[in-house]
Chains A and B, each alone.
Chain A
Amino acid sequence: MRTYIARRLLLLPVILFGTTLLTFGLLAQLSPSQRAALYVPRLPRSPQAVERVIARYGLDDPMPEQYLRWLGQVAQGNLGFSKSGGEPVSTVIRHHLPATLELALWSSVTIVWVGIRLGVLAAIHRDRALDQLLRVFSTIASGVPFYLVGLLGLLLFAGRLQWLPAGDRLSSPNQLLVDGPTWLPLTGMYTLDALVNRRPDVWLDALRHLALPVASLSVVSWAYLLRVTRSSMLEALGEDYVRTALAKGVPARQAIERHAWANARLPVVTLAGLTVLGLLGGVAFVEAVFNWPGLGSRFIQAGVSLDIVTTMGLTLFAATMLVIGNLVVDVLGAWLDPRIRLS
């Protein structure tokens, strides 16, 4: 296992190198004067002044030289200045990452826990009413985009029924509280910070604000996870070792959990991992619908502002997260199934 992890870790810098190369490659498509426009808030109009900017930032140097210089800056956490955010890109990430992380964490837990349970339920109720119902749900939900679920949820549960808040992370008074001097902002994730600050009302408020965005992200993901879990479980439940276990008098629950699930979980865990990583894409739309001040909405804002520096910085950050996330999924898979690490 250790050798497997070491091998994967050794690959990490190579993949990250490729990622930076790709990201920088996009920037290199622009002409020096176009890139100069990214470095200064107000590009002077005279060609001579533009030349000075190009010379100052070495934008006419050979590409490898520029790449190394850029890489050096990135390594120091300098991802450039975000025009659309009005602050350095690294600050944009620092300010908005906790919101996205909080949403992603709660969504991951909900997606994985509920999605797998639904799949197992469908499998053990094969061809019965519950199974049919879940299959219909899965077919419909897998065809609906995240943002549509979000919009419908918003209009129904927030606007019409008023059961849940319509966007944002907290209600206004609580937001003022957490932005104030008395609040200890340990993680920037309000559901955690509320516990540290001993404010159950804020915790509940944060949870209520999370409910709709999390549900929007989960519904579509459940559909996929449900299908894979169901078919994996059905396959496992039909295996001889499960039938043998049941024949020997092992309780049904134990046969499902210890025997069938132990063998069915690998594809499920892989898919769950990929689904959670795939949230990065869906999060952007859900954040926009629910006015969730995370990195996803920043990404969209940078995109519509033609803010290349921010788009690049956030792309690089997201790509790094994806690479690391993939590593975690791989390691988890190997830990669950020795055949992977032995091969």
Chain B
Amino acid sequence: MQGGTRTSGVRWAVLVTALGLLAGASGCQDTGPAAPDGGTPGGRAAGEDAGGGGWPPVNTPADTVVGATLVADPETLDPAWTYFLDAEAIVMNMYDRLVGFEREKPDAFVPSLATEWTLSDDKTVYTFALREGVRFHAGGTLEPHDVAYSLQRAMLQDRSAGPIWMYLKPVLGVSSIASLAVELADAAPDEGEEPPALDALPDEALREACEAVRAAVTAADEAGTVTIRLATATPWFMQLLAMPWASVLDREWMIEEGDWDGDCDGWVAWHDPAVEESLLFDRENGTGPYQLDAWKKKESFALEAWDDYWRTEPAWPGGPSGPPRLKHIVRHQVPEWSTRYAKLQSGEVDWADVPQPDRDQLADLVYAECDGPDEQAACTVVNEAGFLNYYSGYPQASAWALTFNFDIAATGGNPYIGSGELDGEGIPPDFFSDLDVRRGFNHCFDWETMIEEVNRGDAVQSRGPIISGLQGFEEDSPIYTFDLDTCVEELGQAWDGRLPEVGFELTVPHWAGGVEAEAVLEILADGLARANPKYRLETLPLEPTAMMADVNDRRLPMSIAGWGEDYHDASNWAFTYLHSGGAYGGYQSFPTDLTTRLDSLVEEAQVETDDAQRDRMYAELQGLAIDEATAIYLSQGLGWRYERREIHGVYVNLVSPWAMGIGPDLYSVWKEVP
């Protein structure tokens, strides 16, 4: 017996030694992991740089920023397709545009691919002189026809509920290329009818629509210029040219790879593609400071520095030039907050998605609290041992709402609406077409609790789709308040007074891991249940891609609709939430009379040049949205974020903010240990 024990003891010693080696190996991690090229370590330990003076562990290389996010996959890499903040930020880094923003200013511009530009007296003709010697990542050389091709392609591609309406309206005076073709074919549908499909229109009309696009954006290769002619003067047009959708592609490369050939015959084949059908869905060939390194779907996304980047002079005083300082930008998909938290705590990531309600958990890790968006803000050191800087309280042009779907798609069955009948086990597809239901839901929502619990006090209740600081926003405009009695009353009138007796049940999905959205839905569910226990709203965590597919198919009864503005003007908000072509309004299936009313008012306000009149029109839209209760307009929040102390150079531009660990200007960012 004794011998057996001794032998086991030896084996145990081996096991313990092995475990010790493993654990010990973790102690070696502060030398930094090996570089991707397999050579020298990618970065020095921050602790070493600081002379071992207690700098918290940094386990990412000095030339790499690693993030842990709820979702790593961008929606797409096609600049003209994406309408999602994080994908837009990625595109901004891989491609360049004619002009760029002057750092954080949304209305000041610096040369980018254009060296200079002029605007005609009537403010409708822009002429840009193009920079020479710029190369695309795949080797092509930038020429004026590339710029013209890129903008023309975007306008012809014009995917449904996408971003290109913003360009079509000022350039051609229409909200979609399809509507222009229908107009040219004189095939406008009767009221209440669907417009004809594009491929059912005569070739001549299609060709004319395409020619209109080509005439609006022209290139003079020899002169090295590009000219854009607008249908109406648009004060924010330069903002649009600095945004990702105006990114410049290599015409020759695109045609070679099978995209639109630049010809007006057959362009419809490239119109409104499904997201994966676009050539640029998971490929890129831009001129920007970063190129696509690796994209492992559902796992990680990585950018790599483009060392041949063209910029030799800073775009603004103190701005960057030369090759990018950060060589790799990596973000991992880590759906679990506890795992993201542990990664942040251990220095494995420089950045992590922090759910708003869990912000308190990071209190011990904070080094300094800064009252503003960047390093220029006033900062107070709160914990010498902390390693995060907490920036907060800065304005941001974003808000969110809980939209109603007036005509829920139910073909093939829809698990979100249960029985699909008003029998207490579900809701009918047109449940939200009843105004009393929508108003009742609004009165059952407790904004105060949401702002306190979800926004941690850093937000104000939205007064409609238009945010503060823009035309149409009035501090004292009517809004809904949490009032259970009114909720009971409104819902009691709905559906011929049948609701209180029968009740209803619906399921509203939210992004899995999106605790803010879940909390908002729980607040609404609680309010409804308190109004009547037979009013049941269930929440369902759904994987983002699957959820987006159901949003696109109009299968969701309600959806969480967050928005960061594309350009700083009320028209952006009104179109997005209220127009039938908007990113959210387009999926709400408003009834025809309401659609007509909203669409015409949105479009008229867009082209109105008289400021006072515009203000009135947007105020009317704001009021209409509340009166018709098109959504539960939740809140407009103040900006906040956590960042490791080593990260420098981040700034916040209102119309082009950071999203999911990727900023629109990573070129300005670097890491440095004090």
Residues of chain A whose beta carbon lies under 8 Å from any beta carbon of chain B: 30-31, 33-34, 36-37, 41-47, 50, 83-87, 114, 117, 120-121, 124-125, 151, 154-155, 158-160, 162-168, 171-177, 179-180, 182, 199, 201-202, 204-205, 207-208, 211, 251-253, 256-257, 288-291, 293, 298, 301-302, 304-307
Contact = CB atoms under 8 A, between A and B. Distances in A.
A135 to B, nearest CB: 17
B378 interface: no
A162 B553 contact: no
Nearest to B512: A304
Contacts of A293: 296, 298-299
Contacts of A159: 341-342, 345-346
B25 A204 contact: yes
Interface of B: 1-5, 7-8, 11-12, 15, 22-23, 25-27, 29, 32-38, 42, 57, 59-61, 64, 66, 73, 274, 276, 293-294, 296-300, 302, 328, 330, 332-336, 338-339, 341-343, 345-348, 409, 411-413, 415, 512, 540-543, 545-547, 549, 552-554
Contacts of A290: 339
Contact of A180 (B5, B64, B294, B549): B294
A284 to B, nearest CB: 13
Contacts of A306: 415, 542, 546
Closest 7 CB pairs of A and B: A37-B412, A305-B546, A166-B342, A159-B342, A305-B543, A34-B413, A176-B36
A274 B120 CA distance: 79
Contacts of B302: 176, 179
Nearest to A114: B15
A151 B339 CA distance: 8
Given A159-B345, A253-B4, 6 more contacts: A114-B15, A124-B1, A159-B346, A293-B296, A305-B545, A306-B542
A263 to B, nearest CB: 16
A87 B294 contact: no
Contact of B553 (A42, A168, A298): A42
Nearest to A215: B19
A302 B545 CA distance: 11
B26 A164 contact: yes
A114 B64 CA distance: 39
Nearest to A204: B25
A44 B411 contact: yes
B28 to A, nearest CB: 9
Nearest to B34: A201
Nearest to A33: B412
A302 B1 CA distance: 53
Given A251-B3, A291-B332, A34 B412 contact: yes
B546 A31 contact: no
A155 B297 CA distance: 27
B3 to A, nearest CB: 5
B4 A83 contact: no
B588 to A, nearest CB: 15
A47 B509 CA distance: 25
Interface centre among A44, A50, A167, A208 (most CB of B within 10 A): A167
Contacts of A252: 1-4
Given A43-B411, A117-B8, A172-B33, A154 B60 contact: no
A317 B674 CA distance: 53
Nearest to A158: B342
Contacts, number: 199
A288 B333 CA distance: 11
A171 B33 contact: yes
Given A114-B15, A160-B345, A208-B25, A173 B33 contact: yes
Contact of A158 (B1, B32, B346): B346
Contacts of A85: 297-298
Interface centre among B59, B346, B412, B413 (most CB of A within 10 A): B412
Contacts of A154: 338-339, 342
B258 to A, nearest CB: 20
Contact of B542 (A124, A289, A304): A304
A160 B361 CA distance: 13
A117 B11 contact: yes
B348 A171 contact: yes
A177 B42 CA distance: 12
B34 A174 contact: yes
Nearest to B547: A305
Given A86-B545, A176-B36, A252-B2, A165 B274 contact: no
Contact of B22 (A30, A46, A208): A208
B542 A305 contact: yes
A290 B552 CA distance: 32
Contact of B34 (A177, A256, A301): A177
B335 A182 contact: no
A298 B27 CA distance: 32
A154 B348 CA distance: 13
Contacts of A125: 5
Contact of B338 (A151, A204, A256): A151
B411 A83 contact: no
B61 A173 contact: yes
B22 A307 contact: no
Given A85-B298, A252-B1, A301 B543 contact: yes
Contact of B339 (A86, A120, A121, A167): A167
A162 B57 contact: yes
A219 B620 CA distance: 64
A199 B38 contact: yes
A124 B5 contact: yes
Contacts of A31: 413
A30 B412 CA distance: 9
Contacts of B4: 124, 252-253, 256-257
Nearest to A154: B342
Contacts of A172: 33, 60-61, 64, 66, 328, 330, 332, 348
B353 to A, nearest CB: 13
B274 A41 contact: yes
Contact of A47 (B22, B332, B411): B411
A34 B8 CA distance: 60
A211 B15 contact: no
Contacts of B299: 293
A153 to B, nearest CB: 10
Given A124-B5, A172-B332, A30 B411 contact: no
B348 to A, nearest CB: 6
A162 B26 contact: yes
A71 to B, nearest CB: 24
Contacts of B294: 176, 179-180
Contact of B59 (A117, A171, A305): A171
Contacts of A43: 409, 411-412, 553
Contacts of B342: 154-155, 158-159, 166-167
24 contacts: A30-B413, A41-B549, A42-B553, A45-B411, A86-B73, A86-B545, A159-B342, A159-B345, A162-B26, A166-B345, A166-B346, A167-B342, A171-B29, A171-B348, A173-B64, A176-B36, A177-B36, A199-B38, A253-B7, A256-B1, A291-B333, A291-B336, A291-B339, A302-B543
A12 to B, nearest CB: 33
Given A114-B15, A175-B300, A84 B338 contact: no
A173 B65 CA distance: 11
Contacts of B335: 288, 291
Interface centre among B26, B415, B512 (most CB of A within 10 A): B26
A278 B413 CA distance: 35
Given A86-B297, A117-B11, A304-B542, A42 B60 contact: no
A85 B549 CA distance: 12
